[in-house]
Structure 1
Amino acid sequence: MNDLDIAEVARRSGVPASTIRFYEEKGLVASIGRRGARRLFDPEILQRLALIALGRAAGFSLDEIAQMFAPDGRPRIGRDRLQAKANELDGRIRRLQAMRDGLRHAAECAAPSHLECPKFQRILRLAGDGRLSPRGARSKPAP
């Protein structure tokens, strides 16, 4: 039998059994039965867990990742969705590079203190405006 119990899936994938159970509750993975008290999975779960890990690393939420699988369990990731996420990452990279450059400047600035450094003041204004947040804009409170 090629089925994998949850301990073997955890060992091979590096994903803790508790996370696998959580993913099962969220509908991201499905066990195919049990051997005693242990869940059994098709070996293809390893690829699915890798896809989930890749999606998480790219910044997709678990709900977004769940929508990227067809009812038969096969991936169905729209290219437009991938392009939008790549564009979002480009924006995040630009903000992080600007932050890095500003912090390096502040560390080397000749001003007596960071608060007297014009470039550091600009970073503070951007942060205060919410333009350094992951999405690039301050969250607006609900009406």
Structure 2
Amino acid sequence: MDASLLDIAEVAQRSRLAPSALRFYEKKGLIAPAGRNGLRRTYHPDVLERLALITCARSAGFSVAELGRFLQARPSDTDLRTGMTAKADALDEQIGRLTRLRDSLRHAAVCEHEPLVDCPDFKRAVGNVASTSGALPTTGRSHRSCQ
């Protein structure tokens, strides 16, 4: 066996994915084993980079099918590029919502409003309605209802 190859258990440990997830991704064509060491799959070390991309994309909401198409994409695939742009736009919206939620949680951590979840700034962020400036007050700023 090539000494640089990684056993499935090592790939699972280093990628923090279950061996069953690795086998599933293999079945779906997202990764490929380099061979076997007895009955155990082995992989080239670069599979860890592919798995990091897969994990990141999955956490961003990509389906396995979308990932399969993306991983096979060629510059001439205009339909896929259009889909990628739409996905990027959706991620921008999600990032905005998560940023507002993060900011509202930081604000709530220092807010004196009772109860915290009734704070107008917290409600505005969680309700996905941006303030006129587009941001919540920072922890250094206060507003009348939280004093």
Q: What percent identity do the matched residue pairs reach?
A: 50
Question: Partners of 1:96 and 1:32 in 2: how far apart?
Answer: 39
Question: Partners of 2:81 and 2:31 in 1: how far apart?
Answer: 23
SS in 1 for 2:36: strand
Q: Is the alpha carbon distance of 1:87 and 1:41 closer, same or farther for their aligned partners in structure 2, counting shifts above 3 Å? A: same
Q: Does residue 15 of the first structure (1) align with residue 3 of the second (2)?
A: no
Question: Partners of 1:18 and 1:33 in 2: how far apart?
Answer: 17
2:30 partner letter: L
Give the Å deviation of 1:65.
0.3
The ranges of structure 1 where at least 4 consecutive aligned residues each deviate by more than 2 angstroms after the TM superposition are 75-83, 89-100
**Equivalent residue for 2:60?**
58
TM-score (norm 2): 0.56
**Equivalent residue for 1:121?**
none
Question: Partners of 1:91 and 1:4 in 2: how far apart?
Answer: 38
* Equivalent of 1:47 in 41, 46, 49: 49
Q: Is the alpha carbon distance of 1:87 and 1:39 closer, same or farther for their aligned partners in structure 2, counting shifts above 3 Å? A: same
**Equivalent residue for 2:86?**
84
Structure 2 unaligned residues grouped into runs of 5+: 103-147
SS in 2 for 1:39: strand
**Equivalent residue for 2:118?**
none
SS in 2 for 1:68: helix
1:31 partner letter: P
Which range is displaced more, 89-98 or 32-41?
89-98
Question: Partners of 1:91 and 1:27 in 2: how far apart?
Answer: 30
Structure 1 unaligned residues grouped into runs of 5+: 101-143
**Equivalent residue for 2:37?**
35
Question: Partners of 2:99 and 2:48 in 1: how far apart?
Answer: 35
TM-score (norm 1): 0.57
Give the Å deviation of 1:89.
2.5
Give the Å deviation of 1:66.
0.6
Question: Partners of 1:10 and 1:34 in 2: how far apart?
Answer: 15
